[in-house]
Each structure stands twice: as structure tokens, then as C-alpha cells.
Amino acid sequence: MKRNYELATAWRIVRQEGVVSLVKKFFLYLRQMRDARRFAAERRGLRPEPAAVVDFSASVCGGLIRPQQARSEILQLATLVCDRKPKTVVEVGTATGGTLFIWCALAAPEATIVSVDLPAGIHGGGYPAWKTPLYQSFAAPGQRLHLLRRDSHDPDTVREVEALLSAKQVDFLFLDGDHSYEGVKKDYELYAPLVAPGGVIAFHDVCKHVAELDCHVDRFWNEIKQGRRHQEFIENADQGSCGIGVLFV
């Protein structure tokens, strides 16, 4: 699957945008990877403070990584994560890696962090195998970061996540994978049982989206939040995308 993902992506670009676009994207990636080589040195000087971490994640490596979120919303969630310093983090849906970087930077120094992302997934598209070393570099020296390029709905994936956690419960779960109603519901049903009492489950894209984005997280969010302690980080109720919902377990 991993090798086919890169080939399928290149073929899709050729079919939809042409060979010239593929060549331009290739040289853009070369420039970004050049910038990525400076990443480790820049990260060492980064303050573990939410605003600095969020801004760094949106500007580093020439756009090679970035959080696909509204800044005010992800900043509020990053502040919550920083305050709690989770020791176990699971993220479903990684894509460009911006939020994964934020969780690594603000979690406990000894945290175990698991990322699950589906290559060629319908929402986000996944990330190519060549980005794996860059994403692995997000982890602090005492942290353990595990990158699973797999379907989050596969029972074998859930079992692998449990094995990587070594019987530890999850302090922070971020759901940003399949954005269909059935997809986000299934991710919740599979991974919410792993969350510790007192833990946090965050959903991305809880705003009602414009129809062409085919995102229906808002429907599930409006069901699951009823009668439960929750919080919403939404910059503008009519923005047509983004929005973060938080459940307190």
C-alpha cells in the first residue's frame, strides 16, 4: 500500500493537473525537504508555549508541515493540552503533520504518542512514506512516537494501538480522520473506550461545512455532546469549515 500510494498520487496529479504540475510539485518538495534539514536545530530553540508552538507548526519547513485548522481554535486546544501535559496521546488523522507536531511539543516529556493515518484516505489524503523520518523527529528525546499508516477502522489497527500503549489508558484522543458521519462515529466507538477517566476527546471539523466538502462531523458531534461536559472552540459559527469540539471523560 505504501509504495502504491506514492505512485497513485503522482498519477492522479498527472491526470488532473498535467505533467508540468507534477514536475513543479516535485521541485517544491525538494525545497521543502531542504528546509526540513534545518528543522531539528530550529525546534531545539522553540519555547514549549502554546502560541509559539502553533505558529512554528504553521511556518516551518516551507509549508511541508502545517495544522489544517483555524489558528484561534487550535491555539485554544493546544493550551488545553499544554495545561494537562498528557502522558498518552492518540491522533487519528495526521495528513500534513501540524497537529501531531503540536501534541509532541506540548505533551509530557515521557509521553507515548500514537498517530494513525490512512494513505489515500478520502478526507486528508494521508501522507507519503518519505515524510515518516520528518514526523519521527517531532518526538522529544524521552518520548515514544509511533506512526501507523493504516486504516483506523481496521480491528487489527486498534489492537496494534493497544499494544503500543502497553496497557496504558489514553489521556488525549484527537479524532480528525474519516469525516463522514459513519466514519467519525466508528472512530469514536473504537478509540473512546481507550481513554482514561478524566481524559479528553477532541473532534476536528465540528462546524457545519459547506456541502462540497462532504464533511458531517457536526452531525455526530451534536449528538454525542448532549448531556455531557464539553467545550467548543469555534471562531465563527458561520465559517463553513473547521471548529473543534472537546469532550471531557
3-state secondary structure of 25: helix
Residue type (1 letter), 145: L
Give me the chain's average pLDDT, please: 87
3-state secondary structure of 164: helix
In tens, the pLDDT along 57-107 reads 888 777 778 888 899 999 999 999 999 999 999 999 998 899 999 999 999
In tens, the pLDDT along 124-174 reads 567 888 888 889 989 999 999 999 999 999 999 999 999 999 999 999 999
Q: What's the pLDDT at 130?
A: 81
Looking at the predicted structure, is the pLDDT value of residue 31 above 90? no
Q: What's the pLDDT at 1?
A: 44
For 38, residues 6+ apart whose C-beta sits below 8 A from its C-beta are none
Boundaries of every domain in the chain = 2-248
Buried b (16+ CB within 10 A) or exposed e, 138-170: bbbeebebbbbbbbbbeeebbebbbebbeeeeb
What's the predicted TM-score (pTM) here? 0.85
Q: What's the pLDDT at 2?
A: 45
Q: What average pLDDT score do residues 198-202 get? A: 98
All 3 cell numbers of residue 13? 496529479
Q: Does domain 2-248 have CATH number 3.40.50.150?
A: yes
